[in-house]
Structure 1
Amino acid sequence: MPSLTRDEAVARAALLTVTAMDVDLDLDRGAEHFGSRTSIRFTCREPGASSFADVRPVALHAATLNGRVLGPDDLVDGRLALADLEADNVLEVEATMAFGHDGQGLHRSTDPADDEDYVYGHLFLDAAPRVFACFDQPDLKAPYTVAVDVPAHWSVVGNGAAHQVSSGRWRLATTRPLATYFVTVCAGPWVSVTAEHDGIPLGVHARRSLEAPLREQAEQMLATTRACFDGYHRLFGIRYPFGEYHQVFVPEFNAGAMENPGCVTFRDTYVFRGAATPDQLLERDNTIAHEMAHMWFGDLVTMRWWDDLWLNESFAEYMAYRTSAEVLGAPEAWVEFGMVRKLWGYAAERSPSTHPVAGSPAPDALSALQNFDGISYAKGASVLRQLIAHIGDDAFVAGVRDHLGAHAFGNGELAEFLDAMSRAAGRDLDGWAQAWLRTAGADRLALDSDGVLTRSTPAAQPASRPHTLDVAAFVGDDEVLRHRVVLDGDQVDVPGVDGLPADALVVPNAADLTWAEVALDPRTTEALVGNLADVPDPMARAVVWTSLLGGMAGAEVDPRLVLDVVEAAWPREDDASVLSRVSLVVTSSVVPLFLRAEEREEALERVAAAADVLADRAASDGGPAADALALVAARVWARSGSDLDRLHRWAAGHDLPASLGGDDDFRWLVLRRLSALDALDDAALGAAEAADRSLAGRLAALGVRAVRPTAAAKQWAWDRLHDDPDLSNYAALELARGFWAAPDPALVRPYVGRVGDLLAHLDTRMGEDALSRVAVALHPKGVVEPASLEASTAMLGRDDLSPGVRRALLDEDHVLREALASHARFA
């Protein structure tokens, strides 16, 4: 079906204004289909003109325009032709729609724990026509009035306050104007915890089988919600405008969360079934803050077209981390930002698919999905931090308030935002915006022993970006130098560097204030093994880790050095985000991609040994902080250890750290490692499945089967991906993530050239958003060989893969090239 082009959207918005949307959904027709009735009231500026509405039904039963019957020939490729429009119009459409199983549209999922079904709407980016007839573009906003029929024991949550009017019949209050992609309905036998704060009704909801952890964790989540509301009300000067505020934790969600006004949806793994580390709690708090920030950036003021996606995501990203640090009392949030989000963003910046923060071409809606990445999130947030350094925080906040007030319940774009900021700052910002927002690429910062800080700019993306940053130096656990500098040319002198001791670790951008690759000087790099753990500033340590891992990706740092630093410094780390992210990158990337196959077993043993050192440290330290260290150590050991006796004891629940007793998710992690070592028989796996009938357990079991290093297991996983028409988005992702795990590449080498055909086949039953995520996991980069690169290149040349899938494959192709370059240089 054709994707709406920007030109078509501009023309339709110039012609039409939508004044009211009435949607009636019947979700009580079984597991596959639902009924949809829509009444759209809209005006036309040129009576007699023609346009079209968007609708993608299984069956179109009736459609009338101003009482005139539209025939089946009027619906072509999801577009319903509307001819001879009047000044005021009513379009009525009745259709049967299909539930989605790929996380898009109205997704329906069965919880195997109790066989109950749950439905939620995820209408981003262009899935709304799979639910109701509409004009599906972000600048045709309208108030929605929604009614829903559901099984009698279900409840309903949506954008407007929901009220049950009879058995199985619910009505939702009419909303303020919403873009189509924000509309949602969440229906099922939810468990709910409700509260109220500052006149705003609050609710958190999850599946029945998650009742115990939801009730246990609800107050912490609601406390975060209350604090964020207070913080944003103070900051923006505009009260939350969308009535009630519900947060629904839904199954098989493609993203982390979605900012539907009044009814935010989250992936339900944020309701922790077992023990949670501090960084997991921080991530959940930050996600709550991020989605709430969208109530102003994205929902109150929505981008006019998808090329201004950054106006949503960069702002929500920055505001969430600012709020986590300043309002929630978690300054370590900025460490997590550097270790998790910026690592993601720098990888996107290195890829050939890199693009500017703002104004990236989006000729149609689907092409915009390709830029929904670490640049729009992490780089955009970093650029906003640089904007604040450039104009001051008071001017920034004043500009934000101006922009929100001027475009409330409407749409905005980059030029209008810059105008607001320029007025607040009292200066023209177009040159700054050209360098930071409209030009792709990351500068490279390097400091020599004489104290000269040099900026180099990518030759393919020339720009003069001013950087406000600091430089710090450490000797042992002492900070011996810190200077704040403004680099607005090619270089600047940093006082005091030339007099530092020979063993000093010197860290440019130590507070991680700017967006740039940091090249550590050779003396600092050589000293990391012995000295990194002593650096007292966790932010500076995070910058060093990011630099080290980025240098490895660029074939400038030997992955064996990374492993040496992990072995020496990681077990002495205190920051939870550094501990978790470094260990994950090492076990998921450094070892399986950047080391040769014959080195990986020994490398994993070294990682497991480092986890044991961390566990011993936790045991000797004692206290709540030690419990978190012990939890991280156990998880890392379970991903890397090969002591079968210990793994079997842990799988049986024996000799576990105290916080992991009865933790089903940890048990599945152990079983996955046993399966990867071909030390798990079918009987033990079957017993584990019987003991954990949850959705998480069912999915974990798929991954456990897929990682088993046998020809039969790989064939089973491949066939299941290809042949199972009922495979959900999460199930496909689990199988793909486990498939390439193999101690001997020969086991999976026969499949390398077949990935493109499989993805093309899956495209017939999965939406682009879901399939793009599967494509990332299914790319054959796990077999780091020239033949895999040949196969990857051939895939990129195909014409039967969607733009989003091609973009995902292009990024993974770049990762494979990075790994091959590292192998070639450091073999």
Structure 2
Amino acid sequence: MPGQNLSRDEAHERAELLTVDGYDVVLDLRSAIGDPDSGGGDGGDRPAVDPRTFRSGTTIRFRSARAGASTFADLLAPSVTSVTLNGQALDPAVVFDGTRVALDGLPEGENVLVVDAQCAYSRTGEGMHRFVDPEDGEVYLYTQYEPADARRVFANFEQPDLKAPFRFEVTAPEGWTVWSNGAEESRDGGVWRFAETKPISTYITAVVAGPYHHVTDSYSRTFDDGTTLDIPLGALCRKGLARHFDADDIFLVTKQGLDFFHDNFDYPYPFGKYDQAFVPEYNLGAMENPGCVTFREEYIFRGKVTQASYESRGNVILHEMAHMWFGDLVTMQWWDDLWLKESFADFMGVFAMVESTRFKDGWITFANNRKSWAYRADQLPSTHPITADIRDLEDAKLNFDGITYAKGASVLKQLVAYAGRDAFLEGARRYFKKHAYGNTQLGDLLSVLAETSGRDMVTWSRSWLQTAGVNSLTPVVTYGAADRITELAVLQEAADSHPELRPHRVAVGLYRRTTRGDLVRYARAEVDVAGPRTVVAALAGAERPELILVNDDDLTYCKVRFDEASLATLRAHLGDITDPLARALCWSALWNLTRDGLMPAQDFISLVLAFSGQESDIGVLQMLHAWTRTALVHYAAPGWREEGGRALAEGALRELRIADPGSEHQLAWARFFASVADSESDFQLLSSLLGESARVDGLEVDQELRWAFVSALAAHGVADESVIDAELARDDTASGKRHQVRCLASRPSAAVKAQAWAAVVESDALSNALVEATIAGFGQSSQRELLAPYAARYFDAIERVWAERSIQIGMSVVKGLFPALQDDPATLAAADGWLEAHADAAPALRRLVLEARDDLARALRAQACDAGAGAGL
């Protein structure tokens, strides 16, 4: 649609022209309780309404720097009733093109724009999302805007550097509650009015409305000067999840986080109240709307989960809280500097979690899990500097990636080691005070960090923030008399495509076994690695180690390699490393070797079978399970997959049976066993556990675990539609419906695959959550032959899907249905052919195909490595 994809140049030009003084937004959401398929009302006393749309009225007060200037306001709406500019009525048919409201001949100085529109409810998680709970028929609404979907709800100037105060007034159905960024100011029947916000960007405004279950608490802080800050706290979820809602734990982490940020930022929380809404069918993990943070409701756990899940939720809570300062108080000028909020929030979320909550091992999860995302993204052909080149909103949407989040956070961890913790935090404090309620660019942050650290931030930034790619660090060691180190050096390498060698502050650890067999560190040295070769002088003369770990303590962002002696030690004694962070770093390094085609997938799987049962950190164990599945499905030689699958299923069942009864490790192994089950006896056991004719001592087969078992049985044709429907009858909830849809699509039937394909590619009837569930069920690794006909259909369909569907659904389809399971040169050639023939396709679409193509090429290289090794278990 013309004008939908705002460019950076257009945003810059508009920011030069306009200053926005305030918004008054009036929404009437009473139509939400109508039936969206009927086109009629709700059957009550009110007149019939269109439940697909709602009324949106916006008054914008703004100033123009030039007389006679022309610009536009943003609005994505089915229709506009009226437009008034400075008291003069404009013809909507003339000034509104479906995405923009043209504003011509502006007088210099003050202007007032009033737009009355009919905006559309969303089923894609973009704009004003409308969800009907299948359990009780209740309707729930919430908004999600990042990067530019506030224009789906009200007319505005949709760019981050045109901040303004907002006032919201919302008319809602009887019995509903409404939340927004500001505190509730008044309520008159169904009309809710909210206090004016501080100046904020359009993408972090929010409205949540519906019959939500709501719990309250409060936070109070007295500062050194005697002033007191009182923050009302709220937490809400659907009524159907209320019995699972552990609001007390959410509030605990929230208060701990507020203490941490007040202790370290020296800037009181600036947005009044702090509500946290857990909402259905959410596309993201969470969103940092000030005063009204939204989260995906999957963070409310319906069954038993491991501590890794609670840690993940705690991390997300603190990530979003960090945004109240990094992102909301101080916001990037344009999406090029998205890292100014996301990298900082990713880093500060872990930092706060480790220092202020019970989750003291958060850096282990970060090293093993979060960095894995970064390493993958940084080796794709679409990799980019942390400060990216974002030309338009489609680029921005795709830039919420592993570079912006996890690599950026890893680089900040390196920055703390480089500049010092105290200097880093003092720089943050000065940054907030200097730029409060404003917008910044890279240089604004670097200048304060240079002041506080005395370090050369320009050179550091050029190496770390303005270049792409990941370096590899490898130890090279020589020994002399008495088996002592003569010289230990660190070699730094970079890919040919991104040859930058960076300055790394690293720790190098030396490990050897004790008389008890434990593999422990006995020497450590920190060094600044620069250039292709750096000698670690402090370790000269040390006794011969059995393992040399470069980047011990995970200070920098790099791929760790091993010398041959260290690799041999890991093959024999990986499970004997006593330090859980060191062990996690070794697992991560071995996984990178496997992904790079330098270690056969069979070898990695052998290591997992040999040592993962000893893994104490549950988050690392669950990450190993995920990596191992990927290794088997994508990186193992095709001729070995059947043997490898049997070995994994046998190993998983063995660990399940010997795990401590009732432990989280037992639960993790039960889930992994279900995911790799591949024999009649495996399926019989799963069926018996479902039917309660068999049991594993201590294993509680709750509803979520039941769905994991049903999913495995459905994918192998053991559970048919009647079994799946019977399970839905046990769990007739929104969560149960998503599970059912996924299981139905996973069945090994040509008719099922055709139906699933049509549901997501040829129709837009499904919501975002059900599109994701259908895609997840469609692509089963045991069904490669069944899925083969869809490879060609994929390349025929994706450009049309991208043009016709929202960007969120387009991304889900293009990424989720890429024929990765057709892992042969023909599929690679088809992807190359599409890229060549569609050079003029949307850049964001081409990027998604290029990334999937690169993953496939990587898989083929890894398979060749595995086939060449010919190992076996």
**TM-score scaled by length of structure 2:** 0.91
Which secondary structure state, in structure 2, belongs to the residue aligned with residue 448 of structure 1?
strand
Which secondary structure state, in structure 2, belongs to the residue aligned with residue 318 of structure 1?
helix
Distance of 2:703 and 2:842 partners within structure 1: 37
Partner residue in 2 for 1:381: 409
Partner residue in 2 for 1:591: 632
Equivalent residues of 1:571, 1:610 under 8 A apart: no
Distance of 1:654 and 1:424 partners within structure 2: 66
Residues 117-136 of structure 1 mapped to structure 2, 5 A cutoff: 117-136=139-158
Distance of 2:498 and 2:347 partners within structure 1: 25
Equivalent residues of 1:773, 1:808 under 8 A apart: no
Partner residue in 2 for 1:753: 792
Unaligned runs of 5+ in 1: none
Equivalent residues of 1:442, 1:517 under 8 A apart: yes
Residues 523-602 of structure 1 mapped to structure 2, 5 A cutoff: 523-587=565-629, 589-602=630-643
**Equivalent position to 1:144, from 158, 166, 187:** 166
* Of 770-779 and 561-570, the range deviating more from structure 2: 770-779
Which secondary structure state, in structure 2, belongs to the residue aligned with residue 602 of structure 1?
helix
Displacement of 1:220 = 0.6
Distance of 1:336 and 1:368 partners within structure 2: 27
2:728 is the counterpart of 1:700 = no
Displacement of 1:499 = 5.8
Tell me: CA distance 1:144–1:658, structure 2 relative to 1, closer, same or farther (3 Å): farther
Partner residue in 2 for 1:395: 423
Which secondary structure state, in structure 2, belongs to the residue aligned with residue 743 of structure 1?
helix
2:328 is the counterpart of 1:291 = no
Partner residue in 2 for 1:777: 816
Unaligned runs of 5+ in 2: 35-50, 221-229, 479-487, 868-873
2:861 is the counterpart of 1:821 = yes
Equivalent residues of 2:689, 2:701 under 8 A apart: no
Which amino acid letter does the alignment assign opposite residue 13 of structure 2?
Answer: A
Distance of 2:529 and 2:818 partners within structure 1: 40
Partner residue in 2 for 1:35: 55
Distance of 1:662 and 1:155 partners within structure 2: 36
Which amino acid letter does the alignment assign opposite residue 676 of structure 1?
Answer: A
Equivalent residues of 2:274, 2:291 under 8 A apart: yes
Which amino acid letter does the alignment assign opposite residue 390 of structure 1?
Answer: Y
Equivalent residues of 2:22, 2:164 under 8 A apart: yes
Which secondary structure state, in structure 1, belongs to the residue aligned with residue 62 of structure 2?
strand
Displacement of 1:796 = 3.2
Partner residue in 2 for 1:368: 396
Displacement of 1:283 = 0.3
* Of 760-769 and 430-439, the range deviating more from structure 2: 760-769
Partner residue in 1 for 2:724: 685
Equivalent residues of 2:761, 2:813 under 8 A apart: no
Partner residue in 2 for 1:107: 129
Which secondary structure state, in structure 1, belongs to the residue aligned with residue 572 of structure 2?
helix
Distance of 2:385 and 2:378 partners within structure 1: 9
2:676 is the counterpart of 1:640 = yes
Cα-to-partner distance string for 1:195-253 (whole Å, 9 max, x where unaligned): 00011000111011001011xx1101100000000100111100110111011011111
Cα-to-partner distance string for 1:426-484 (whole Å, 9 max, x where unaligned): 34311111011111111110012322211123333343421111122333423233222
**Equivalent position to 1:608, from 649, 654, 658:** 649
Partner residue in 2 for 1:83: 104
Partner residue in 1 for 2:23: 21
Equivalent residues of 1:572, 1:614 under 8 A apart: no
Which secondary structure state, in structure 2, belongs to the residue aligned with residue 782 of structure 1?
coil
Equivalent residues of 1:660, 1:666 under 8 A apart: no
2:61 is the counterpart of 1:54 = no
2:193 is the counterpart of 1:153 = no
Which amino acid letter does the alignment assign opposite residue 674 of structure 2?
Answer: A
Partner residue in 1 for 2:663: 627
Which amino acid letter does the alignment assign opposite residue 811 of structure 1?
Answer: E
Displacement of 1:517 = 1.0
Equivalent residues of 1:593, 1:819 under 8 A apart: yes
Distance of 1:342 and 1:510 partners within structure 2: 15
Distance of 2:72 and 2:419 partners within structure 1: 45
Partner residue in 2 for 1:12: 14
Equivalent residues of 2:219, 2:232 under 8 A apart: yes
Distance of 1:801 and 1:124 partners within structure 2: 24
Equivalent residues of 1:145, 1:172 under 8 A apart: yes
* Of 672-681 and 785-794, the range deviating more from structure 2: 785-794
Distance of 2:128 and 2:698 partners within structure 1: 37
Equivalent residues of 1:22, 1:39 under 8 A apart: yes
Equivalent residues of 1:449, 1:497 under 8 A apart: no
Displacement of 1:27 = 1.2
Partner residue in 2 for 1:485: 527
Distance of 1:148 and 1:291 partners within structure 2: 25
Which secondary structure state, in structure 2, belongs to the residue aligned with residue 157 of structure 1?
strand
2:116 is the counterpart of 1:94 = yes
Distance of 2:98 and 2:173 partners within structure 1: 32
**Equivalent position to 1:432, from 460, 481, 496:** 460
2:434 is the counterpart of 1:409 = no
Which secondary structure state, in structure 1, belongs to the residue aligned with residue 159 of structure 2?
coil
Cα-to-partner distance string for 1:158-217 (whole Å, 9 max, x where unaligned): 111135623322112111111010011111110011100011000111011001011xx1
Which secondary structure state, in structure 1, belongs to the residue aligned with residue 820 of structure 2?
helix
Displacement of 1:742 = 4.4
Equivalent residues of 2:815, 2:849 under 8 A apart: yes
Equivalent residues of 2:802, 2:845 under 8 A apart: no
Tell me: CA distance 1:188–1:799, structure 2 relative to 1, closer, same or farther (3 Å): farther
Equivalent residues of 2:721, 2:744 under 8 A apart: no
Displacement of 1:810 = 2.0
Partner residue in 2 for 1:420: 448
Which amino acid letter does the alignment assign opposite residue 53 of structure 1?
Answer: A
2:88 is the counterpart of 1:68 = yes
Equivalent residues of 1:228, 1:289 under 8 A apart: yes
Which secondary structure state, in structure 2, belongs to the residue aligned with residue 83 of structure 1?
strand
Tell me: CA distance 1:528–1:323, structure 2 relative to 1, closer, same or farther (3 Å): same
Equivalent residues of 2:510, 2:549 under 8 A apart: yes
Equivalent residues of 2:634, 2:863 under 8 A apart: no
2:337 is the counterpart of 1:308 = yes
Equivalent residues of 2:80, 2:118 under 8 A apart: yes
Equivalent residues of 1:769, 1:804 under 8 A apart: no
2:774 is the counterpart of 1:735 = yes
Distance of 1:808 and 1:328 partners within structure 2: 38
Equivalent residues of 1:58, 1:96 under 8 A apart: yes
Distance of 2:821 and 2:841 partners within structure 1: 21
Distance of 2:191 and 2:389 partners within structure 1: 44
Displacement of 1:530 = 2.4
Distance of 1:235 and 1:550 partners within structure 2: 35
Partner residue in 2 for 1:343: 372
Equivalent residues of 2:637, 2:866 under 8 A apart: no
Distance of 2:512 and 2:747 partners within structure 1: 47
Partner residue in 2 for 1:206: 237
Tell me: CA distance 1:59–1:270, structure 2 relative to 1, closer, same or farther (3 Å): same
Distance of 1:194 and 1:352 partners within structure 2: 47
Displacement of 1:749 = 0.7
Q: Percent identity?
A: 37
Displacement of 1:542 = 1.3
Distance of 1:337 and 1:596 partners within structure 2: 30
Which secondary structure state, in structure 2, belongs to the residue aligned with residue 252 of structure 1?
coil
Displacement of 1:605 = 2.8
Distance of 1:506 and 1:517 partners within structure 2: 14
Which amino acid letter does the alignment assign opposite residue 102 of structure 1?
Answer: T
Displacement of 1:375 = 0.9
Equivalent residues of 1:213, 1:272 under 8 A apart: yes
Equivalent residues of 1:118, 1:188 under 8 A apart: yes
Distance of 2:188 and 2:749 partners within structure 1: 55
